[in-house]
Structure 1
Amino acid sequence: MKTVLTNKNISIRTRRRALECYIEPILMYGCEAWTISKQTQRKLEATEMWFLRRMLRISWTAKKTNDTVLEEAHTTRLLISKIRKRQATFFGHVMRREKLENLVTTGMLEGKRSWRKQREKLIEGLTDWLKAGKSLEAIEATKDRKKWRNMIANAVKQGT
């Protein structure tokens, strides 16, 4: 895809669409189950900017800010919000099923916990993104599809 994405004869809009159609799905494969820490988020944002810089043939040594690169590409950072939206949609689906996946996703399994630092749960990252307050509020919101979709849409609009 390098020849297509870096070709100056193809418009930037077409190259961006090729990036969204062919590269991003590979990058986001399985993202519904990821827990995104601050470090992971920075790496994903850096990857997104790396793709855009390669597409525009801007060297990493060039003194161009990410904002300038985004302006040249006529876009904004969308990767994290796409991942969060997919996670929220999947989470709502799992919560409505009320099966084993529900227990695993919420982390409410019986047994001893490790003495080490606890891992962040998917529900914690989603409640922060959705600004739902408590995880129980988010779980209750999944029962009503319309309310859940509105929560997701509001979070995507805010661009967080």
Structure 2
Amino acid sequence: MKTVRTNKNISIRTRRRALECYIEPILMYGCEAWTISKQTQKKLEATEMWFLRRMLRISWTAKKTNDTVLEEAHTTRLLISKIRKRQATFFGHVMRREKLENLVTTGMLEGKRSRGKQRERLIEGLTDWLKAGKSLEAIEATKDRKTWRTMIANAVKQGT
């Protein structure tokens, strides 16, 4: 794919589409179950910018900001919002099933909690992104597909 991504005879739009079709699905494999921390988000954004810089043949020693690279590529940062959207749709699907996956995803299992700082759960990251307030509000919103889809659409419009 390197020859296609860096070929200047191919338009930037076509190269970007090749990136979205062939490379991003590999990168986002299994992203529905990820909990995205600030550090993970920075790494994903850096990876997205690395792909764009390679596509435009911009050296890492060139003193170009990420904003100028995005302008040259005629795009914006979309990877995190795509991942969050996929997580939200999967979460809604799992919550509507009301099976064992529901209990595991919400973290409402019986037993002792481990020592130390607790890991961030998927639902906490989604409620922050959706600006739903409490996690229980988000869980209740998944019951109605139309409401859940509008919440996801509003969050995607606002960005990350």
Give the TM bin, normalised by the shorter chain. Answer: over 0.9
- After TM superposition, which residue ranges in structure 1, 4 or more long, deviate above 4 angstroms? none
**In structure 2, C-alpha distance between the alignment counterparts of 1:18 and 1:107, rounded to whole Å:** 38
| Offset from partner CA, 1:5-52 (integer Å, 9 cap, x none) | 000000000000000000000000000000000000000000000000
CA RMSD of aligned residues (A): 0.3
Give CA deviations for 1:35-80 in whole Å, capped at 9, x if unaligned. 0000000000000000000000000110000000000000000000
Aligned-pair CA distance for 1:81: 0.0
- How far apart are 1:117 and its partner, in Å? 1.2
Alpha-carbon offset, residue 88 of structure 1: 0.0
CA distance in 2 between partners of 1:11 and 1:33 (Å): 35
Displacement of 1:116 in angstroms is: 1.6
Shift of residue 103, structure 1, vs aligned partner: 0.2
Q: Distance in 1 between the 2:77 and 2:142 partners?
A: 27
Corresponding position of 1:144: 144
SS at match of 1:36: coil
Q: Partner of 2:110: helix, strand, or coil?
A: coil
Say which SS state the counterpart of residue 90 (structure 1) adopts. helix
Structure 2: gaps (5+ residues):
none
TM-score (norm 2): 1.00
CA apart distance, 1:115: 1.1
- Structure 1: state its 5+ residue gaps: none
Q: What is the distance in 2 between the residues matched to 1:60 and 1:90?
A: 36
Shift of 1:150: 0.1
Match of 2:128 in 1: 128
Q: C-alpha distance in 1, partners of 2:62/2:104?
A: 46
Residues paired across the two proteins, number: 160
Separation in 1, partners of 2:159, 2:2 = 29
Calculate percent identity across the aligned residue pairs. 96
The two structures have a TM-score, normalised by structure 1, of 1.00
SS at match of 1:146: helix
Partners of 1:63 and 1:122 lie apart in 2 by 37
